[in-house]
Structure 1
Amino acid sequence: MSQIVSRSISALFPKQRWSRTLELTAAWLMLLCALPMGLVFALIIKLQDGGPVFYRGTRLGKDRKLFTLYKFRTLVPNAEAIIGANLLKPSQQLETPFGKFLRDTHLDELPQVLCVIKGDMALIGPRPERPAVYETMCREIPFYDHRFRVAPGMLGYSQLFTPHGTDKRIRSFIDNVYINRRRLHSDLLFFFQASLVLTQRLVRHCWRLLKITGGRVMFGQQWSERRHTRRHKPRYAKVHIQCQPPVQGHIVNITYDAMLIALSHPLENPEAELELVLRTHFIRKARFRTKLCRVRGTVISARSTPEEPHCYLVRIAEATPLNRYFLSKYFMS
């Protein structure tokens, strides 16, 4: 008898209906709460360079149906013509000053709430792909098309928990795991977890922005001559160079394409290509963990200070997609 009642309730209130109702409720609440902030963002973007406030782009949705995606514009007006079917690289420097803040905090994606309300997107799901990127980079990836079984999401596992520029194969694997295990309660849990992560990221970037603004006031133009590529200073990051004899040291700072390393001994042949093994450790879920990353590099210049007499600036010349992912996630976050 209980099974009959349960089936009757499921027929009257299917999971899809509950999920869509909760999704619409959350989307309308987000739209109402974000509207004042969105108006401020629109004013800043317009005053910044006079270009359009919103970016409109064609994306592949469920069953590969095309739809129009909306974002706050974060790049210079002619950026799409420059990027083409490729992905944005930090070295291209196409982000506007305010656009970089929006991209780092994912606030540029707030207008996609409209896509959720229209039914083109879901709150949670794999991120929508540009048709040109799909054709050139993704079509041949095994099981990549699995994502088109569901609506693309405003928030996605691979987007939130992997750095910008992570290889498409890695992101596809993460998205497919999520799709296969998708449940209503797991969606709710992920939504609250994502909200917490994004709030922490917003607070961290606002604090950094305040420090930069304060520095400009205190130091004038000297502070404004900062590098476009942000340098990260990883803690507990060691480096082992596989040469004869082997040399060890630590990472002073690192960017997407270069790192400054301090070694215990000078390199005997700094002109040769280096094989570097990077190691860092951290605590997760009360357990001590170690992560290794293997890359190849070439020395750009040698430096010395009283504290670090054997420093070298190394250009990262080669890394596999998996090692590039490890580098971004564990050494640059």
Structure 2
Amino acid sequence: MIKLKDGGPIFYQGVRLGRNKKPFTMYKFRTLIPDAQKIIGAELLSSKHNVVAPWGKFLRDSRLDELPQLFNILKSDMDFVGPRPERPEIYEKICKHIKGYDKRFDTKPGLIGFSQLFTPHSSPKRIRTLIDNRLLVKKQDLLWDTSIIIYTILVVVVTTCYKIFKICNKVLKNKILGMYSEKRVLERVQPIGAKIYIGSENDEKGSFAYESRLVDINEDAFLMYTNHKIDQKDSFFKLKITWNIRGKKGVSEKSAICTGKVYKESEIKNKQFKYSYVIKYTPISPLNFYMVHQYFLSESMV
């Protein structure tokens, strides 16, 4: 399928830093367009680059693109479990000065990355470093590694089945039943029970008011319903959602603060809300960026 879509190679080969920063060639199923590396350069991949090939998102989201790295394991370049290998240019530009980052080079990189499993693709490197370093001490435990491998296989199977179901459902509705076809490139997520509070850039206390409803969100914008008419002074938004705590009986509130600009405004006939807004947003910090992608976009595997 990859070959038929754009005629490019099926496999991607890229230089990565392994144990003791020794470079090696890592293999993956190609998920980006040919020559994507020239566009991305020494940056982290994001939606702004627009280089994901057809079927590439499915392979990336399910992590099936990593399977060719079994060959790297056979070559002893990698292990089954460990921190993910890093591109040399990303290490030099972004990671080199992160405290504790170089601890990963004391061991072989892994097919299954600790932070890769528990955080979104786009998570800030500092946050991923904290997770990797915390779990590195358990890497020498055979039972721990085996448990992680089995758990990852189960997660990948479930994720793959879910993604295939969504694709089939979309084809059924659009191609067979002739229903509405989604025109947006970025997939919208509808977080259950998510709310938005509005703040002003001139408010030195950083307070938020006007409880509103977060209808849906993608990496670039969100749709909200509110009774408050937003003006130019309302440039800060606090997203809040209730999150079930894994393994415990209870919930936790997660929030993220973003700046935003009105992209589209309309009045709605709704008993609860008067206005509908599409807001182009930007998280105010790497931590808030992580919170949006982890808890509102639900991009991590677990």
Q: Distance in 2 between matches of 1:186 and 1:317?
A: 38
- On the 8 A contact 1:303/1:313 being kept in 2, the answer is no
Tell me by how many angstroms 1:273 deviates: 4.9
Task: Describe the SS at the equivalent of 2:167.
Answer: helix
2:39·2:49 contact (CA, 8 Å) conserved in 1? no
Structure-1 separation of matches of 2:95 and 2:34: 26
Partner of 2:146: 188
Q: Where do 5+ consecutive residues of structure 2 fail to align?
A: none
Amino acid at match of 1:257: D
Q: Secondary structure at the match of 1:141?
A: coil
One-letter amino acid of the structure 2 residue matched with residue 148 of structure 1: F
Displacement, 1:312? Answer: 1.2
Aligned to 2:25: 68
1:83 Cα deviation from its structure 2 partner = 0.6
SS in 1 for 2:5: helix
Following the alignment from structure 1 to structure 2, what is the Cα–Cα distance between the partners of residues 312 and 222? 22
Do 1:272 and 1:298's aligned partners in 2 also have CA atoms closer than 8 Å? no
Q: 1:310 aligns with which of 275, 289, 296?
A: 275
Q: What SS is found at the alignment partner of 2:70?
A: helix
Deviation at 1:222, TM superposition (A): 5.4
TM-fit CA distance, 1:121: 0.3
Specify the alignment match of 2:16 in structure 1: 59
Distance of 2:144 and 2:196 partners within structure 1: 39
Q: Which residue of 1 aligns with 2:97?
A: 140
Corresponding residue SS for 2:269: coil
Q: How does 1:77-226 map to 2 (within 5 A)?
A: 77-182=34-139, 183-219=141-177, 223=181, 226=183
Structure 1 residue runs of 5 or longer lacking an equivalent are 1-43
Cα offset, 1:171, TM superposition = 0.3
2:229 aligned partner: 266
Find out whether 1:319 has 2:279 as its counterpart.
no
1:257 alignment partner in structure 2: 220
Distance of 2:27 and 2:74 partners within structure 1: 12
2:168 & 2:292 partners in 1: Cα distance? 28
The percentage of counterpart residues that share the same residue type is 38
**Over aligned residues, Cα RMSD in angstroms?**
1.7
Structure 2 residue aligned with 1:32: none
Q: Give how far 1:134 is off.
A: 0.4
Measure, in 1, the Cα distance between the counterparts of 2:232 and 2:269.
24
Alignment of 1:227 with 2:184, yes or no, is yes
Moved more, 242-251 or 317-326: 242-251
Q: Answer with 299-308 or 236-245: which moved more.
A: 236-245
Higher relative contact order (CA 8 A, sep 6+): 2
Cα separation, 2, equivalents of 1:315 and 1:212: 26
Cα distance, 1:273–1:164 mapped onto 2, change above 3 Å = farther
- Give the number of equivalent residue pairs: 287
**Aligned twin of 1:25:** none
CA drift of 1:85 comes to 0.8
2:237 aligned to 276, 281, 288, which one?
276
Judged with a 3 Å threshold, the aligned counterparts in structure 2 of structure 1 residues 47 and 132 are, in CA distance, closer, same or farther, namely same
What one-letter code is carried by the residue in structure 2 that aligns with 1:211?
A: N
Could you tell me which residue of structure 2 aligns to residue 294 of structure 1? 257
What's the offset of the Cα at 1:240? Answer: 1.1
Evaluate the alpha carbon distance shift between residue 66 and residue 159 of structure 1 in structure 2; reply closer, same or farther with a 3 A threshold: same
Residues 273 and 306 of structure 1: CA distance in aligned 2, closer, same or farther (over 3 Å): closer
Equivalent position amino acid for 1:313 in 2: V
Please, what TM-score do these two structures have when normalized by structure 1? 0.82
- Structure 1 residue identity aligned to 2:254: K
Cα distance in 1 for partners of 2:89, 2:275 equals 46
Instruction: Tell whether the 8 Å contact from 1:93 to 1:228 is kept in structure 2 after alignment.
Output: no
| Separation (CA, whole Å) in 2 of partners of 1:235 and 1:220 | 28
Q: C-alpha displacement at 1:50, in angstroms? A: 1.1
Instruction: Give the direction of change, closer, same or farther, for the CA distance of 1:283–1:298 in structure 2 (3 Å limit).
Output: same
Q: Does the 8 Å contact 1:45/1:53 carry over to 2?
A: yes
Report the structure number with the largest CA radius of gyration. Answer: 1
Query: Following TM superposition, by how much is the alpha carbon of 1:74 offset from its aligned partner in structure 2, in angstroms?
Result: 0.8
Contact 1:298 1:317 in 2 (8 A): no
Mapped pair 1:332 → 2:297 = yes
Partner SS for 1:313 = strand
Q: State the alpha-carbon separation in 2 of the partners of residues 63 and 114 from structure 1.
A: 20
1:247 aligned to 189, 197, 210, which one? 210
